[in-house]
Amino acid sequence: MSLIGKKAPSFNADAVINGGEIVNNFSLDQYIGKKYVILFFYPKDFTFVCPTELLAFQDALEEFEKRHVAVVACSTDTEQSHWGWLQVALDKGGIKGVTYPIVADTTKTISMNYDVLAGDYQVDENNNITANGPMVAYRGLFLIDKNGIVRHILINDMPLGRSVDEALRMVDALQFFEENGEVCPANWSKGKKAMKATHDGVADYLAKK
């Protein structure tokens, strides 16, 4: 079932922050009432498409921060694996220089609760997962508002990298709607005309295209 319009699943997990500091009990709850969140999942550390995405989000981090958005990454690797990858230079396949939090979903439960876990699995009466398959995360991205509600979801298969520009566009669209009450039509981007959510509003918008 889609998480759109629902409370983002809460979690507490180990994470690496500031490019090399391991912390316990990292939670998105710290952002409620303060910041929007882009939470994105990726399959594995020390791979190929993944570093391009993590570095692209780092390159755009200032733009997210201008919009009061916290960027948080997550994979099923351990916090030690995240830390090790963060120490490797870019020309060696590493992600050195990434400063936003990277969460360690070692129990697979975060990926499972966000419905991005690849593989066939079952949960027994003791909440243990038994599985067949890779048991790593698809490329899921979730835009969460300041109230902790999921407002946008994008899930790509593993070979397909995401567009950071599209993530920024969706943040802009949500914030524009919240501030102005107008809705954002197809291919809307910041600075373009929006429209009122009425029949007359749609007609006016289409007439002026």
Annotated catalytic residues are 50
Q: In what helix (H) or strand (E) does residue 132 lie, and over which residues does it extend? A: strand 129-132
In 3-state terms, what secondary structure has residue 186? coil
Q: What single letter denotes the amino acid at residue 127?
A: N
The pairing of beta strand 21-26 with beta strand 13-17: antiparallel
HSE-up (13 A, CA, CB side) for residue 110: 32
Distance between CA atoms of residues 95 and 89, nearest Å: 6
CA 89 to chain centre: 24
Distance between CA atoms of residues 121 and 73, nearest Å: 23
Q: Which residue in 120, 165, 110 sits closest to 140, CA to CA?
A: 110
In 3-state terms, what secondary structure has residue 168? helix
* DSSP secondary structure of 89-124: -GGGT--TT--S-EEE-TTSHHHHHTT-B-SEEEE-
HSE-up (13 A, CA, CB side) for residue 42: 22
